[in-house]
Structure 1
Amino acid sequence: TSPKPVFLVNPFEELQNANTLDEKTLQDKFIDIINQQGLAPGLKMDSCESRPDNAEIDQDRQKVDAAIWREDLAPTNNKPHWVDQLIPVEFKAWKSGGDYQDPYHDDPTVPGGVVVRPSQLRTKNFEQIISYAELVFAVQHRLAVFMLVVVGRVCRFLRWDHSGAVVTQALDYYEDWQFFCDILWRVSRCSNEQLGVDPSATRLSDADKESEDMTLAAVANRDELDHTERQLDVPPEAPFTFAYVREMFSNSLDKQWPRYKLEVPDGTVKRHFLVCKPMFRAKGLIGRGTRGYVALDCDTGRFVWLKDAWRAYYLLLEKEGDVLAKLKAAEVPNVPTVVCHGDIRDQTTLTSQEWELKNPQPSPSAGPFRASEQPRDGVPSTSSSSKRKWTDDGDGADVPPLKGLDGAKITYREDSPLRIHRHYRLVEEEVAMPLSDFETGEQLVFIIGDCIFGESRVSLSRTLHRDVSGGNILIYPRVIWASGGRVWLMKWTGLLADWEMSKPILDEPAGKFPRQPERTGTWQYMSVALLSWAKLVEICDELEAFFYVLLYHAARYLRSNLEPITLANYLDAFFDQYSLTDDGYQCGTQKLAAIATGRLTVKAGVDLKFDEPMNHLICTLLSWFKSHHVV
C-alpha cells in the first residue's frame, strides 16, 4: 500500500476564496488538487458531467458532477459510468441567487447536529443527491453508498443505506486541510467492502467462465417448450424450459449492465446464481430495494427466479422462504416453490442504529411517543385530496448492535422514524409472467381465481398474505391433466407470490405493538377499511384487494365504454388519490364512493361498464362489497 502523503503546506491554498467561485471552476480546481497532490493514492477523482450514460442504464440520463474510482477503472470520456463508480461527488457553488446551496444545515441543538434545511433550491439539491445514490444502488450490488458533497469551501461526507443517510457536519477543507487529507488517505486504504460494495456479489468479466456460461444459456434451442394455451398430444418430458423464460434471461444480458455471481445460503452451504439486468426494480432508495432477476443456477444450469431485497428486520416476522416452505408442506396450491434462501452474511443497515445512538430512549415519565405521530415530509395536517404514489416497505427481527448500543438484540423503537433492514435473497423454481400478459377476460378471471383459491387454503391454515396486488399475482403455464376431457392441456394458471408481509392470524395481546410499525400493503389495492382507519388485515380485506386487481386489469386492458383519457383519469382518481386528514393518509373519494354505492360512477350519469359477462361479474362483486361495507 502507498505510504501516507506528508504535506508541509496546505494543498488547498488556491481554494481559500472558494466561496466566490462558480461551480465549474470550483470543481476543476478541486479535482486537480486531489489527483495532482496524490491525496487519495490508488484512487482517481474525475469529472463526469459532460455526457450521460446509455439510457439502458439510466432512463433519466443523470450526470453527477464527478466521482471517485479505483485508478484502473477510472474512465476517460467524462461519462458517469455508474456501474464502476466508487464514490459519487457533487459540487455546488456556495450561493445561487443569494440562496445557500448546501441542502443540509448544521444545528447543534438537534441530535446528530445536522438537519435538512427546506428551501426550493436546497430541496432540489437534496433530491438530486438522493437520485444519484439510488441509481448506484440500482446498477451495482451495494451495502451502502458513500458520497462527497462540496459546497464552496465546505464539504460533507454522506453514507446512504436502505434505512436513510448519515451526514457529517460541514468541514472547511481549507481551514482543516490536515484533517480532510487524513480522511481522503484513510478512504484510499479502505477495501471495496468497507466502501459499501457487497462482497457476496462477484462482478464478472468477459473472460470469466461464468460470463460465457450466461451467454451460451441465452441461446435458444429446439427443446424449449411453447407456453401458448392449447391441447397437447402427449405431456412434455421433464425437466423442460419454457421459451419465454430463456427469452427473458436473454433480454436481461444487456451489454450496458454488469454481470454478477450472487451467493445464496442453502442451509449450511452456499449456492451461486448468475444474473445481469434485473427484470424488476422497486423505485425509491429507502425501503426493501427489491430487485428480481431471471437467474442461471450454477449447479443445475436451469433458470430460476432470484429475489434480492432488504427485509425490515424486527422481531417475530418470518423470512419469506420459511413462509413458502410451510405453505408447500401444507399443500397450498398456486404459490412459488423455494429452491434456497437466507440472510446474506449478517448484512444490516446501520443508519437506524446510528439514529438510536444520537437519540437515547426517553425516560418513562416523558410519556409515549409513536413514529406515526411525527409529521412526514413536512406535510401539514389539513384535510385535502391528493394523489399518493407508494414505494415498497419491509418486514422484520433482531440485529447485531453497533459499538455503543447495549444488548444482543435490538427491537423496534416506537419513536424511531427509521427501519432496520437486513439483506436477504430468495430463489424460486418458477419463473412466471406478469399478470398484464393475460390475453382474454376469461383468462384474467381464472388466473385471479387460482390465487383466491390458494389464499383460501392458506386462510384455513390461519395465514394471510397481506399484500395482494397486481404485481404479486403472476401467470405460470402448467401442463395439466383435464380428467373431464381426458386430455393434456397447456394451461395458464395463477401464482400468488411475494409473501414477505404475510402473518399468522393470531389474537394479539392488548398493548402489543404491531410487528411492523406502518400500514402494510400496496396502496392501490388496499381495502377501504384498511385505508380509512387502523385495523388488522382480515380475509375480507384480502378479497377486496383481489377485486381491485381484477377491476384495474379489466379497465386497463379490456374494452370498456370510456374514452382512453377519461378512463386514465378515472383509474388515477380511483387507485392513486388519497385524502389527507388529521389522522394521516386515508382512502381516496372515488374508491370510497364505489364501495359505498356499489357503482363505478365516473361522473353524473356515467358509470364504467365492460362487455358481458365481465360487466356482470364486476357489478355482482361490487354489490357484495357494498353490503359488507354497510354491515
Structure 2
Amino acid sequence: MPSAHHQLEAVEFLETDTLNRSGHCHGFRFIPIHEKGAEGSKDCVWAAAWPDKEAPPKKFVTSRPTELRLDPVHRCSMDIPIICYPSDEMKHDPFDDLHYGIDLDSDAARILAQVLKQAQNLFRYQHRTFCYAIVFFGWHARIVRVDYAGTTFSTHIDCATDATDLISFLRRFSQASPADRGIDLSAEHISHDSPLGKKMRLRAELNKDPNNPSDLARHLFESLLKEDWPWFKLAVGDGLSRREFLVGSPLYERLAALPNTGSRGYIALDLDDPDQRLVFLKDMWQLSRVGYLQEGATVARLNAAGVPYVPTLVCHGVVDGQVTLSDQLYPYQTFASRLHYRVAIREIAKPLHTFNDSKELLDALKCCVIAHSRAMEIPILHRDISEGNILLVWNPDRKKWEGMLTDWEIATDFTEACHYDGEPVLCCGTHQFAAVRVLEATRGPPERQAEDDLEGFLHVLLYVCVRHLNSNLQNVEAFLQRYFHEDKMLELKRGSFRARCVTEAKIPISQSKKGPATELRFALPSGAGGRSMRRPRYTHPLNDVLQQLFEWLRARYEVLPEMERYNDLYWTPEGSDSKTFTAQRMIDLFDAALEDPQWPVGDKCENRCPKDFNGVKIERTDIRMLLPDDVPIPRPTAHERPEVELPAAKRRRRA
C-alpha cells in the first residue's frame, strides 16, 4: 500500500483481498468496522475476525461512519482486532520505543493506547486469558499479544515483500484450540433464549417485593440481565468444591488501562444451590507475589474466627491454573505476574453513599471499625480502607442497614510485618484515603500499621460527609481535589493540604484577611428536630466527632519519629503504642455520638459534587496554595447551564 493511502483503504484491502478470499484464516471472517468517533475526534476504522457463523449483522458494520455501535453481545465472539495506520505514522510506532526502553512521545502513546483499547474491549465483553491483535503501518505489520500483565510483540513484517510470517500466523491461529486463542474455557457463553437463560429470567422474577430491602439482590440481578450484553456460566474452584454460577452484565468493572486486575463484580445465580441463592461473585487477575493472600482464604479465616461485619465465603479458587505469560517472556522487565482468581460471597450490599442519614452512615463506619479491630486479633490487617470497600448490608433481624468491611484482596498477616521479599512494605492501598504518613513515607515504622487503616476510616467519613451533607463549604470540587487527589508523591515535598489538616487538627477552608481561617462545619437540617435559636445552623454533632478524631490523630503524629530513625530506637515512643489513636476509642466515640437523642434526621442532601472531578487539577502554585473556598469557582459554559423556564408574563411577551 503506498504511503499516501489512508486508514480506511488499509482495512478494506485486508478484509477483501488478503484475508477472506485467500482462506489463510479458514473458519473466520474479517470484517471492517466503521464507528462514529466521539465529538471532536476522528471516526474509528478498524477490523476484526469472527467465526463464520457468528459474524454480526451487516447493519452494525457499514461502509461509512454511523452512529450505530457494535452491541456487547456481538463482540462476544470477536477476535484478532486489526488496527491500521498510514505508513507515515510508522515513525511513531510505540513498540520500537518499548523494545529499547525509550520513553514514548505523545503520538506513540496515543497509538499504544488505541491498540490496548481494542484489546481491552475484548477482555471487557468476553472472558479471556489473552488476545492477539495485528497493527499495520502501511504495508508493515506487527503481531501483538496482550494479557493482564503486559504486552509482547513481534518484529516488523514487511508484507510488501514477504508476508509469509503473517500468513503462517493466521493459518496457525485458525487451527488453534479456543484455549490457545485466549478463550477462557471456564466461562461458557449462554444464549438469552437457552434453558439456562430462561432460568435466569425466572429467578429474576421470583419473590419480587420492591418495597422490601431484602429484595435488593433480586432487583440488582434483574437489572443486570441486559438484552444487549452476553450472559455467561462461570466456574469457581476445582474438584469436588467446584461450583457454577450464572451471570449477566457486571455490577462493576475496573476499566483502568492495561495491565491491571481486570476486576469485575457480578450478581450471580448459584446453580448448585437448591434454593437458587443469589451471591456476589468477583472475577479478577490477582498479583502473584509472596505475601499476597487469596481473598477467599482471608475471608474464610475471618469467618472461622467469628469476625462480625465481614463477608461470608461461599467458595473461591484459582481458575484452572490460568496465569499470565508476559512476565515470563520478559523476565528482565518489571512485569508483575498475575493469576486468574474468582471468589463468591453470600452478602449482596449497596454502596456507602446510598446511606439514608448521617446516623446510619456513622453506625456503618462503627461496624467496620469493629470488624477491623476483631480481624487484628487474628491478626489480619486490611490495608485498603476506602469508600468503595465499606458497604451497606441489610440485617433482617435488626431491621436496619449495617456496615460491612469488604474487599480483603490485599490484606496480610500482621505477624508477617507487612514484608515483601524480606523488605518492609507500607502498601498505600487506595491513595485518596491513605494515611498521611503512608503517602509521605517519612515518619513512623517502615511497615503499615493498624493506626494507618484507622486513619483511613476518618478520611472516608470526611469524604462522604462533604459530598452528601450540607456545610459552610462552597467550593466542594476544590476541597475534594485538594484533600483527596492532591497528594501525589512528588507534590508532598511542598506540603499537602491533608497533612496540614492532620497537623493542625482542623480543616481550614477559607483564609480571611484578618483573623484565623474559617473551618469546615457541617449544618443541621432545617425544620423540626433541626436547628433553632439554641442550636445554630453549623452545630451538627458530626463536627464534634470529626474534631475529636483529628485531635487524636494529631497526637499520634506528634510522637512519631522519622522513619530512618525508627529502627534505631530500642523503645516504643510514648504515644505510638496504640494508646493515642485506637479502634476502641473510635468505637466508644461513635457509640456516644449515636446515643445523642437530638441527633438530626433527614440531614442527607443531594450529591454536592455529582460530576467526575478526578481529572481536575489545580496547576498554578498561587492557586494550589489557596484554601478550597478561596479557589475561584469556574462558571458553567452556556451548554452546561440548566434550562430555566421563563415566567408566564415573559413567555406571553415573546410569543
Which interval holds the TM-score relative to the shorter structure? Answer: 0.7 to 0.9
Post-superposition offset of 1:117: 6.2
| AA partner of residue 78 (structure 2) | Q
**Alignment correspondent of 2:267:** 294
Please give the residue correspondences for 1:116-131 in structure 2 after superposition, counting only pairs within 5 Å: 118-131=104-117
2:25 aligned residue: 40
The alpha-carbon distance between structure 1 residues 120 and 106, as it changes in their structure 2 partners (threshold 3 A), is closer
- Cα distance, 1:477–1:568 mapped onto 2, change above 3 Å: same
Name the SS of the counterpart of 1:477 in structure 2. strand
Separation in 2, partners of 1:29, 1:266: 46
Q: Distance in 2 between matches of 1:147 and 1:104?
A: 13
**What is the distance in 2 between the residues matched to 1:510 and 1:224?**
48
1:220 Cα deviation from its structure 2 partner: 5.2
How far apart, CA to CA, are the structure 2 residues paired with 1:510 and 1:248? 39
Give the 3-state SS of the residue equivalent to 1:506 in structure 2: helix
Distance 1:61 1:225 in 2: 47
Secondary structure of 2:267's match?
strand
Cα gap change, 1:25 to 1:64, in 2 (>3 Å) = closer
> SS in structure 2 opposite 1:474?
strand
**What is the correspondence of 1:69-84 to structure 2 with a 5 Å cutoff?**
69-75=50-56, 76=58, 77-78=60-61, 79-80=69-70, 81-84=74-77
Maintained 8 Å contact 2:190/2:231? yes
Match of 1:341, SS? strand
Q: Indicate how the Cα distance of structure 1 residues 465 and 515 shifts in structure 2: closer, same or farther if over 3 A, else same.
A: same
Aligned with 2:456 (options 545, 549, 554): 545
Give, in whole Å, the separation in 2 of the partners of 1:304 and 1:510: 33
Shift of 1:250: 0.8
Q: Which has the higher helix share?
A: 2
For the pair shown, the structure with the greater C-alpha radius of gyration is 2
For 1:589, the aligned partner's letter is: S
Deviations 1:327-346 (A, max 9, x none): 11111111100011100000
Residue in structure 1 matched with residue 447 of structure 2 by the alignment: 536
In 1, Cα distance between equivalents of 2:154 and 2:404? 46
Identity of aligned residues (%): 29
Q: In structure 1, what is the Cα distance between the partners aligned to 2:195 and 2:35?
A: 35
For residues 276-355 of structure 1, what are the structure 2 equivalents within 5 Å? 276-284=248-256, 285-300=258-273, 301-355=276-330
TM-superposed deviation, 1:25: 1.6
Q: Which residue of 2 aligns with 1:105?
A: 96
Choose from 583, 593, 601 the match for 2:500.
Answer: 593
Q: CA deviation at 1:137?
A: 1.1
The 1:509/1:275 distance shift into structure 2, 3 A limit, reads: closer
Match of residue 427 from structure 2: 519
Q: What displacement does 1:207 show?
A: 3.5
Match of 1:603 in 2: 510
Partners of 2:419 and 2:199 lie apart in 1 by: 56
User: SS at the partner of 1:447?
Assistant: helix
Sort the Cα spacing of 1:305 and 1:106 in 2 relative to 1 into closer, same or farther, 3 A.
closer
**Matched residue type, 2:133:** M
Shift of 1:192: 2.2
* Equivalent residue number for residue 561 of structure 1: 472
Decide which moves more: 70-79 or 204-213: 70-79
Residue 116 of structure 1 deviates from its aligned partner by: 6.2
The question of whether the paired residues in 2 share the 8 Å contact of 1:104 and 1:117 is answered with no
Cα 1:35–1:524, aligned 2, differ >3 Å: closer, same or farther? Answer: same
Aligned to 1:268, the other structure's residue is in SS state helix
> Of 184, 200, 217, which aligns to 2:203?
217
1:557 shift after superposition: 0.9
Residue equivalent to 1:26:
10
Distance 2:280 2:186 in 1: 18
Q: Distance in 1 between matches of 2:88 and 2:479?
A: 44
User: Superposed, which structure 2 residues align to 1:391-470 within 5 Å?
Assistant: 416-470=333-387
Q: Distance in 1 between matches of 2:147 and 2:423?
A: 24
Distance 1:477 1:561 in 2: 33
Alpha-carbon separation, structure 2, partners of 1:151 and 1:216: 50
Q: Secondary structure at the match of 2:261?
A: coil
**Residue type at the aligned position of 1:85:** M
Shift of 1:224: 7.3
The answer for the alignment partner of 2:48 in structure 1 is 67
1:275-333 Cα offsets, whole Å, 9 max, x none, are 01111111322221111001011122111000101111123432111111111111111
Larger strand percent = 1
Secondary structure in structure 1 of the residue aligned to 2:544: helix
Structure 2 CA distance for aligned equivalents of residues 330 and 22 of structure 1: 64
Say which SS state the counterpart of residue 540 (structure 1) adopts. Answer: helix
* TM-score (structure 1 length as normaliser): 0.78
C-alpha deviation, 1:580, in angstroms? 4.1
Q: Taking CA–CA contacts closer than 8 Å with sequence separation of 6 or more, which of the two structures ends up with the larger relative contact order? A: 1
Letter in 2 for 1:519: C
TM-score by length of 2: 0.75
Q: Where does residue 218 of structure 2 map in the other structure?
A: 246
* Contact 1:528 1:587 (8 Å CA) reproduced: no
Question: For 1:175-231, what per-residue CA distance to the aligned partner results, in whole angstroms no more than 9, with x for missing partners?
Answer: 22222211111111122221111100000113421111111111153567712xxxx
